[in-house]
Structures are given as structure tokens and as C-alpha cells.
Amino acid sequence: MQLLSDIIINEYSVIPQKISFKELQQKSLLLVVSLFQDEIELSVTEYASNNVYLSASYILQQKKFSHNEINYLITDFVHRYHLNQLTFQSVHIIYSSPYFVLCPIEFYLPDKKQILLEYAHPVSVLDEQVLTDDFQNIKIIYSIRQSIYTSLTQIFPSAKLFHSSTALLNLFFYHPMLMHGKFWIHLHPNYMEIMAKNEQQLLMYNMFDTQTSIDVLYYTLFCIQQLNFDSKTTDVYVSGNVSSQHSIFKILPKYVHSVQILHHHPKLHILPLDSNLISHYHFITLNHPLCVSYQENTKAEK
């Protein structure tokens, strides 16, 4: 399979301009691979310093990846960026499955997870691996195509796997710009994710397919209305691999109190080679580990 001609590749790397590959091999590294439905991202950072050495993405603008394309692009990422020549202290994989359900922990039964998932998504999961994540008092049940799961476990046998909702919820509750926010939308080329909370209580998380900025506006205002929020006092936080000149930033402010683009965690150290990355690109992939670490430290202190 050839790399699809309509894929856009975004890349930020300080190798070898600021650090040689040989020097990188001596570092204690963290790898994050995010498999979204129309974007695949990776980041290589250093544990001790939070220095970002590499961040890259493959983006499809007009459609979502097939399962075969995801499998191919995982392998392509590994070879293109010589990941098999590096040793990682930890590997995080974020996977965006459209088949998921958020279940209160008190209603969850391990032997019923497949039934719960099929009840929410009446599709066959025969070719799917059903997995779970935990976030606070929520059990996140989701499926991943068996062929993709097998590839990931073979290439990254010690990786920690997260559903994309888990990654976003960690950010929503523990990222400095979002900790006190109530409403956040993350934009992908062909779909969006919407989250809302009140203090420490999650009110909603969902995905919606989108084709235009009008779709984004519709689902944003629809969710605000369903939550009985007042749009005139609601601040909407926005992230995604989109330019600050994107039309949504011209349309949405007409209907809500304010629209704020999310920026990277202040503890991330990104050398000034790419202003887009410094601003907000690869937001989930780069910021997720810091928020997971913060959550784990907070839990340990309790």
C-alpha cells in the first residue's frame, strides 16, 4: 500500500538540528501514538525535562482512515521516524473508537462489558477487542479492531492503551487551561468531540461527524442547549490541528460568550521551530502524559 496522496503530513523535529539521534538514544523517552479516525499523531518527549524532540501527524481532510490504512500507517510511522531504534521508558497509545460507552462504575460488571457496549452500539464486535479504561467513577468501555490491536501489541508490547475519551477527560480535568472550564470542543477534519462539566462533575462527552463549520456550530449550540447552559455566558474552549484563521473562530463567537484556543501545557518545552506547534497543534498527544501524571500524583497524595 502506498502512502495516500491526500494525506497531509505535519512534522516538528529538533533532530538532528538540536540533538543527534545518537544523543537521543541515551535519553529517557516517552512515546505517545494517537490513532484518531482521520488523524494519526506521535510525539517523542523526554521524561525528566519534558523536552519535545519530535511531534508529527498524518491527516486526512475528506474522509476517515480504514482499518487497513491505520495498520499501514502505524508501520510507516515506526520506519519513517526510526522508532524501532529507540528505547522508550513508557509508551502511551490513544485510540479513537466510535464504539464506546461511559458507564457508572457501580453499574459495571466485567463479564457484561461486551453486552453493555453492544447495547449502546448495536453492531457486531466479533472482529473487535473489547477494552476498558477508568476515569474517576466512570468505566469507559470501547472496542478496537482486532487486527489493529494485534499490530499495536506486537510493535509496542508494553504500551498503555487509552480510549480517546479517557485522554480528553484527563486533559479536561487536569490541564491548567481547562481545569476551571465548563465546555470544550476538539476539532478533527471529519468529526468533533464535545465535553462539558460542572466543577468536578462530568456532564457529557460525545463525538459528532462534521463536514463544515456550520456542523460544528450546530452541535456546539445543540449541546449547550441540552445542558441548559446559557450561551451568552458560556466560554467555549477549542483545540485541534486547525489554523487560528479557521472559519469557526469567526462564526462561533457570535453565539457564545467567548471562544478560546487551547495552548500547550506550560511544562512542555518546545523549541521555537514551529509556531503552529508552539501554539496548539497536536494538543492531545503532547499534553496527555502531563495530565495523566498529574492525576496519578493527585490520587497518590489522597
What pLDDT, on a 0 to 100 scale, did the predictor assign at position 252? Answer: 96
Q: Are residues 153 and 199 in the same domain?
A: no
φ, ψ of residue 40 to 5 degrees: the values are: -125, 125
- State the DSSP H helix or E strand holding residue 67, giving kind and residue range, or none if neither: helix 67-80
Domain boundary among 133, 148, 165: 165
Side-chain-side CA neighbours of 66 within 13 Å: the count stands at: 6
Q: What is the mean pLDDT of residues 90-96?
A: 97
Alpha carbon separation from 188 to 57, 73, 132, 238 (Å, rounded):
12, 18, 23, 11
Q: Are residues 129 and 155 in the same domain?
A: yes
Helix (H, G, I), strand (E, B) or coil at 27: coil
- 275 pLDDT above the threshold of 70: no
Q: Are residues 161 and 171 in the same domain?
A: no
Specify which residues 144 forms β-bridges with: 129
Q: Are residues 228 and 268 in the same domain?
A: yes
Q: Are residues 146 and 250 in the same domain?
A: no
Pair 259, 253: CB distance under 8 Å: yes
Domain boundary among 138, 165, 192: 165
Q: What is the pLDDT of residues 198-228, one digit of tens each?
A: 988 999 999 999 999 999 999 999 999 999 9
Alpha carbon separation from 161 to 95, 104, 257 (Å, rounded):
7, 20, 36
- 178 pLDDT above the threshold of 90: yes
Q: Are residues 103 and 125 in the same domain?
A: yes
Q: Residue 99 sits in a domain of what CATH number?
A: 3.30.420.250
DSSP notation for 245-298:
T-THHHHGGGTSSEEEE----TT-B--TT-HHHHHTTTHHHHHHHHHHHHHHHH
In eight-state DSSP terms, residue 14 is -
Q: Residue 286 sits in a domain of what CATH number?
A: 3.30.420.260
Q: Are residues 249 and 171 in the same domain?
A: yes
What pLDDT, on a 0 to 100 scale, did the predictor assign at position 3? Answer: 55
Q: What is the pLDDT of residues 120-167, one digit of tens each?
A: 887 666 688 999 999 999 999 999 999 999 999 999 999 999 999 999
Q: Are residues 37 and 152 in the same domain?
A: yes
Question: How many structural domains compose the chain?
Answer: 2
Q: What is the mean pLDDT of residues 276-289?
A: 84
Q: What is the mean pLDDT of residues 24-41?
A: 95
Pair 283, 240: CB distance under 8 Å: yes
Q: Are residues 180 and 296 in the same domain?
A: yes
Q: Are residues 151 and 171 in the same domain?
A: no
- 266 pLDDT above the threshold of 60: yes
Quote the CA–CA distance of 57 and 35 in Å, as a whole number. Answer: 10
Minimal CA–CA distance to 205: which of 177, 186, 181, 228? 186
Specify which residues 7 forms β-bridges with: 60
Strand ranges across the sheet with 235-240: 201-209, 191-198, 183-187, 235-240, 258-261
Alpha carbon separation from 138 to 5, 94, 102, 166 (Å, rounded):
40, 18, 6, 10
Domain region containing 174 = 167-301
Across 256-293, b (16+ Cβ under 10 Å) vs e yields: beebebbbbbeebebbeebeebbebbbbbbbbbbbbbb
Q: Are residues 183 and 283 in the same domain?
A: yes
Q: Choose the weakest-confidence range: 13-22, 57-66, 104-113, 224-233.
A: 13-22
Q: Are residues 220 and 93 in the same domain?
A: no
What pLDDT, on a 0 to 100 scale, did the predictor assign at position 294? Answer: 61
